[in-house]
Amino acid sequence: MPGVLLIGLDGLGPARPGRSARSLLPALTALAEQGVSGPLHSTHPPSPVPAWTTMLTGRDPGELGVYGAVRRRSRAYLDLAPAGPDTVRHPRVWDRLTAAGRPSVVVGMPQTSPPPAIDGVLVPGFEDRTGATFPPRLADEISALVGDYLTDVPDFRALPPHRLISAAWRMTERRFSTMEHLMRTRPWDLAAVHEIGLDRVQHGTWTIDELLDGTAPAGPSRRAAVAYCRFVDACVGRLVRAAGPGTSVMIASGHGTVRMRGALLLNEILRDAGLLVLRTPPAGAQPLTADLVDWSRTAAWADGGHQGSIFLNLAGREPRGTVAPAERPALIARLRALFGSVDAGAQRVSCRLESPRELYRAVRGLPPDLVVRCDDESWRAYGSVGVGVSWLACPDDEPVEVNHTAEGFMVLRVPDRAPGRLGAASALDVAPTLLELAGLPPDPALPGRSLAPGARIRA
């Protein structure tokens, strides 16, 4: 009996696909017309980790204790480490299938390195640098099939557009070839693949919207970026055909993209306010490390990302805390005022500072004290020190960088279900929908809802 095919394509925003995307993404547009489609609201932060773990568990980042690609490992200052699969305490959809004795094929999904054991096969996502798979012997089979399998584009932010697109093309071709091979040679009730290439190409060229509406300058780089998008779309069509007409298909993006207008240097702003004190001024721009900081005179420090994180140096909690618990509310109020309107030259950037308890159903692990969302997400947060300024502007006449937005996109095609609009949908709805499609029992503890009620394909 047919299963469920899940394809992750990060970087698709809520306006895509549509009529204007037909020439760029014809297979995706056709699927949207055959099923339901619409915006998919992501997590905070709107980053592959934790967005995809939320989508596959049905739990928000606070419940997961996963607040970004890296996690605070201990109370030691700036003790950060990648958020690996060992930090996931809730079952993902393939774990539920494994418990039911049903197999999955999983390729490229975030937060799967080192690869966990499942009923089926698993190739880790973009964080992996080891080449490990589950089962281990699968790595040799993939190598014989595609040669050097690529989990990510190395140094993608530093590559010129033509080299970036060329590397992404190779990576995508090998990922989808691997996925199609495994779908054809392994039993599966869930086939799930995540492709990071669209995200990487947009980070170094232009957003998909800019490619479509003509604001990306004409030339070889734009033509190459358009060709890559069409290639990804063709790969999607190939997998859908391999899955067969009776298969339910979900295509989801964990975030959208917007051209960056600039970046705020969170730690430099804290330094200017006297809340972060360094032992000696840095000789140049560099990441903040624990040895640089005079913790006896520091009240707060920050980490950057698509959204920023601020940590308070609380007495009784941090090793050398300076902020008494009774002073915490006043410090948070001061931080909100400090970042509420930042002077960035000819403009002012407004940031929202929210506590994890305001954002999530529960708070586990070692969360930041405040999550920083810069303006309309066209500003990113940097954690570097020694830059000498509190903000950096991005030129608007060349490919530079994009930031992630919380509005992603979803297409859901279920056999015998009429086309229509998706309506309001959240990352929390993905797992309940997959459980419904796979015929697994609903979990009443999950806050999301199935987007395909009554569309069960298995008894």
Q: Please give the residue that has the higher pLDDT: either 208 or 99.
A: 99
pLDDT at 453: 59
Class of domain 4-259+403-438: alpha beta
Whether the per-residue pLDDT at 389 is higher than 50: the answer is yes
Q: How confident is the model at residue 375 (pLDDT cuts 50, 70, 90)?
A: confident
Whether the per-residue pLDDT at 95 is higher than 50: the answer is yes
Taking residues 79-102, what's their average pLDDT?
A: 95
Answer for the pair 288, 74: CB distance below 8 angstroms, yes or no.
no
Three-state secondary structure string covering the chain:
CCCEEEEEECCCCCCCCCHHHCCCCHHHHHHHHHCEEEEEECCCCCCHHHHHHHHHHCCCHHHHCCCCCEEECCCCCCCEEECCHHHCCCCCHHHHHHHCCCCEEEECCCCCCCCCCCCEEEECCCCCCCCCCECCCHHHHHHHHHCCCCCCCCCHHHCCHHHHHHHHHHHHHHHHHHHHHHHHHCCCCEEEEEECHHHHHHHHCCCHHHHHHCCCCCCHHHHHHHHHHHHHHHHHHHHHHHHCCCCEEEEECCCEEEECCEEEEHHHHHHHCCCCCECCCCCCCECCCHHHECHHHCCEEEECECCEEEEECECCCCCCCCECHHHHHHHHHHHHHHHHCEEECCEEECEEEECHHHHCCCCCCCCCCEEEEECCCCEEEECCECCCCCEEECCCCCCCCEEEECEEEEEEECCCCCCEECCCCEHHHHHHHHHHHHCCCCCCCCCCCCCCCCCCCCC
pLDDT at 458: 36
Q: How confident is the model at residue 304 (pLDDT cuts 50, 70, 90)?
A: very high
Whether the per-residue pLDDT at 403 is higher than 70: the answer is yes
**CATH 3.30.1360, the chain: domain bounds:** 262-393
Taking residues 99-109, what's their average pLDDT?
A: 98
Between 23-27, 245-249, 300-304, 384-388, the lowest mean confidence (pLDDT) is in 23-27
With pLDDT > 70 as the criterion, what percentage of the chain qualifies? 95
Whether the per-residue pLDDT at 77 is higher than 60: the answer is yes
Report the alpha-carbon distance of residue 145 to residue 124 in Å, rounded: 17
Each residue's pLDDT tens digit, 20-73: 677 788 999 999 889 999 999 999 999 999 999 999 999 999 999 999 988 999
Whether the per-residue pLDDT at 170 is higher than 90: the answer is yes
Taking residues 277-301, what's their average pLDDT?
A: 96
Q: How confident is the model at residue 122 (pLDDT cuts 50, 70, 90)?
A: very high
Each residue's pLDDT tens digit, 176-205: 999 999 999 999 999 999 999 999 999 988
**CATH 3.40.720.10, the chain: domain bounds:** 4-259+403-438
Answer for the pair 121, 105: CB distance below 8 angstroms, yes or no.
yes
Q: Please give the residue that has the higher pLDDT: either 345 or 255.
A: 255
Q: Please give the residue that has the higher pLDDT: either 260 or 108.
A: 108
Taking residues 228-238, what's their average pLDDT?
A: 96
Instruction: Calculate the average pLDDT of the chain.
Output: 92
pLDDT at 16: 58
Q: β-pairing, 104-107 with 120-123?
A: parallel
Taking residues 154-165, what's their average pLDDT?
A: 91
Report the alpha-carbon distance of residue 414 to residue 247 in Å, rounded: 7
- Name the residue among 198, 4, 10 with its Cα closest to residue 105: 4
Each residue's pLDDT tens digit, 1-22: 469 999 999 998 876 555 567 7
**Inter-residue long-range contacts of 71-74, CB under 8 Å, 24+ positions, other chains counted:** 71/365, 71/366, 72/311, 72/365, 72/366, 72/367, 72/368, 73/366, 74/366
pLDDT at 457: 38
Return all residues near 353 (Cβ < 8 A) that are at least 6 apart.
310, 332, 335, 336, 339, 340, 370, 371, 372
Whether the per-residue pLDDT at 454 is higher than 70: the answer is no
Between 6-15, 345-354, 447-456, the lowest mean confidence (pLDDT) is in 447-456
For 262-393, CATH gives: 3.30.1360
Q: Which amino acid is at 448?
A: G
pLDDT at 217: 82
Whether the per-residue pLDDT at 295 is higher than 80: the answer is yes
Each residue's pLDDT tens digit, 325-337: 999 999 999 999 9
Helix crossing, 220-243 with 26-34: angle to 10°? Answer: 40
pLDDT at 216: 82
Q: How confident is the model at residue 421 (pLDDT cuts 50, 70, 90)?
A: confident
Between 33-47, 104-118, 181-195, 265-279, the lowest mean confidence (pLDDT) is in 33-47
Whether the per-residue pLDDT at 459 is higher than 50: the answer is no
Report the alpha-carbon distance of residue 198 to residue 283 in Å, rounded: 36
